[in-house]
Amino acid sequence: MQALTFHNKHELHYESIPDPAILKPDDAIVKVSHCAICGSDLHVYHAHEQGLDSGTAMGHEFCGEVVEVGRAVKNLKKGDRVMSPFTSSCGQCFYCRKGLTCRCEQGQLFGWVEKGEGLHGGQAEYVRVPLAAGTLVKIPEGMPDELALLLGDILSTGYFCADQAGIRPDETQVVLGCGPVGLMTIWAARKLGAGHLYAIDQVPERLAEAERWGAKSINFAQTDAIQFIREMTEGRGADAVLEAVGQEKSNRLAFDLLRPGGIFSAVGVCTHEHTVFTPVEAYNKNLTYKIGRCPARFYLEKLLQAAQDDAALLCSVFTHRYALRDGVKAYDIFANKLDGCVKVILEM
């Protein structure tokens, strides 16, 4: 089969790799119809995360059609259209039962093979899905593949970010970063009743999108965001900051924007070694700090109806469309925010 594969920093190949096969009774093989490039894929692309084997098929946002199932898979059959979260999950272990499916005792991240162990990703013609009965979800009739891709990762992640921020309509929330996850976080915050919602970035096109999605925008390159938010809150600061970037500077800004007793909700993938605030600073601010990987499988089904109700807005996040064979070019455009790119969808 053909796939986009990792080889080195900024070096991806579109090449032929072996077709996946059923290895365990709970496996399924999915023929991918569409996949997408995620911001967290760029941590691999820029080689910020070390250890990925050369030749690993990239990507964890995919949907498609079941073409084969293992003998233990009873809830799926050949021909089913399915979507997948970015990690596999059994649905039965302690963490899955608590809704923390991203920490399933048997779970794995798609698109991560290290020292020969792990899962190839979904930026390929086919993908093996372990724990298929607990991982895959049938796509409802009439739902576009674009929406299924979003539910499997960034839409669920944005909702998770807003959910753990304790949104209240009489309080002030700030979303940091107006990329794809940030826009989904704005949507989720509005769904959860945010009444005074601001979004911070420095890219004019992304700030315009944030306004369209329902937030008041702040360009931090032109405005002192901390001072502005304090002026809007009688000098206190934001009640909650929803961090969707993952960089050291954005994390520090999030901390400084918060009022005492505020909530710091972070879903941006962090690669720095230490928190940007000290234990003393957190203590002195009575900080509530919530961070981690989204349990996308848990949120995915909860959001099916709400997502379908706003499908046109949500799917508009895909600004660029390419064939999988043009994926190397697509990564360059996405990584460098060229041509007003917000998010890329790849099709077979």
Q: Which tens digit of pLDDT belongs to each residue from 316-329?
A: 999 999 999 999 99
Q: Is the domain of 268 the same as that of 207?
A: yes
**The total number of structural domains that make up the chain:** 2
Q: Which tens digit of pLDDT belongs to each residue from 81-115?
A: 999 999 999 999 999 999 999 999 999 999 999 99
Mean pLDDT for the chain?
A: 95
- The CATH number of the domain holding residue 69 is 3.90.180.10
Pinpoint the alpha helices (H) of 47-194: 94-97, 132-135, 145-151, 154-163, 180-191
- The CATH number of the domain holding residue 255 is 3.40.50.720
Name the residue with tokens 């996308």.
296
Question: Which residues, other chains included, contact 227 with Cβ-Cβ below 8 Å and sequence gap of 6+?
Answer: none
| 3-state secondary structure at position 26 | coil
Q: Is the domain of 45 the same as that of 18?
A: yes
Q: Is the domain of 259 the same as that of 315?
A: no
The residue from 247, 264, 291 where one domain ends is: 291
Is residue 7 pLDDT above 70, yes or no?
yes
Q: Is the domain of 176 the same as that of 228?
A: yes
Query: Given this model, what pLDDT does residue 154 score?
Result: 96
Q: Please give the backbone phi and psi of residue 19, each rounded to the nearest 5 degrees, phi first.
A: -65, 145
The residue from 274, 291, 308 where one domain ends is: 291
Q: Is the domain of 283 the same as that of 321?
A: no
The candidate with the shortest Cα–Cα distance to 36, out of 345, 322, 334, is 345
Q: Is the domain of 69 the same as that of 198?
A: no
Amino acid at 211: E
Q: Which tens digit of pLDDT belongs to each residue from 35-85?
A: 999 999 998 888 766 788 999 999 999 999 999 999 999 999 999 999 999
Q: Please give the backbone phi and psi of residue 250, each rounded to the nearest 5 degrees, phi first.
A: -70, -35
Query: Given this model, what pLDDT does residue 49 score?
Result: 64
Strand order in the sheet with 11-16: 11-16, 2-8, 56-57
Beta-strand pair 172-176/117-119:
unpaired
Q: Is the domain of 270 the same as that of 202?
A: yes
Q: Which tens digit of pLDDT belongs to each residue from 217-270?
A: 999 999 999 999 999 999 999 999 999 998 889 999 999 999 999 999 999 887
Q: Which tens digit of pLDDT belongs to each residue from 143-168?
A: 999 999 999 999 999 999 999 999 99
**Which whole-number Å values give the CA distances from 166 to 31, 103, 111, 216, 227, in the listed order?**
39, 22, 32, 19, 23
Q: Is the domain of 148 the same as that of 7?
A: yes
Q: In angstroms, rounded to a whole number, what is the distance separating the alpha carbons of residues 60 and 267?
A: 16
Q: In angstroms, rounded to a whole number, what is the distance separating the alpha carbons of residues 85 and 109?
A: 9
Q: Is the domain of 73 the same as that of 89?
A: yes
9 in Cβ contact with 49 (< 8 Å): no
pLDDT band at residue 187, thresholds of 50, 70 and 90?
Answer: very high
Instruction: Name the residue range of residue 213's domain.
Output: 156-291
Q: Is the domain of 258 the same as that of 188?
A: yes
201 in Cβ contact with 178 (< 8 Å): yes
Q: Is the domain of 31 the same as that of 149?
A: yes
Q: In angstroms, rounded to a whole number, what is the distance separating the alpha carbons of residues 179 and 159?
A: 15
Q: Please give the backbone phi and psi of residue 126, each rounded to the nearest 5 degrees, phi first.
A: -140, 155
The residue from 249, 266, 291 where one domain ends is: 291
pLDDT band at residue 346, thresholds of 50, 70 and 90?
Answer: very high
Amino acid at 68: E
Q: Is the domain of 218 the same as that of 257?
A: yes
Query: Given this model, what pLDDT does residue 196 score?
Result: 96
